[in-house]
Amino acid sequence: MAAVADGLRNRNVRLPPEVNRILFVRNLPYKITAEEMYDIFGKYGPVRQIRLGNAADTRGKAYVVYEDIFDAKNACDHLSGFNVQNRYLVVLYYQASKAFAVVDRKKVREEIDDMKSKYGVDSEKHDEKKK
């Protein structure tokens, strides 16, 4: 595996823009440990950090940070669809713009609701007036 990554490094390969050192992993078994994650992902290169989700909404998800972008690409290519404890992993590149888009939408929704309550606008009554 490392030989493939070394071969990619030696050639001036242009990687797609979404490729980065951080992988987002979904559909993990809830009982998986950090050591098991290091065993699985460490085969493709040195892992700097693994963050396992432990809250109710983040269980079964993890972030894996590699030292090198080519190791991350190799792991993403080979581990997407990999079977771990009868679950198929979904391995994607971390994209900050998508991760924070959900937070931004919630914030905008809260601001709209605040403005509605501040100015006494009720969307249901407003829709009825239009009819």
Q: Are 37 and 79 in contact (CB under 8 A)?
A: no
Task: Using alpha carbons only, give the angle 62, 45, 95 rounded to the nearest 5 degrees.
Answer: 40
The amino acid at residue 95 is: Q
Q: What is the pLDDT of residues 62-87, one digit of tens each?
A: 999 999 999 999 999 999 999 999 99
Q: How far apart are CA 19 and CA 23, in angstroms?
A: 9
- Length of the chain in residues, anyone? 131
Query: What count of Cα atoms within 13 Å lies in the side-chain half-sphere of residue 123?
Result: 5
Between the two ends of the chain, the Cα-to-Cα distance in Å is 65
Q: What is the pLDDT of residues 98-128, one digit of tens each?
A: 666 666 777 888 888 888 888 888 766 555 5
Q: How does DSSP classify residue 29?
A: -
pLDDT of 52 over the 90 cut: yes
Looking at the whole model, is its pTM more than 0.75?
no
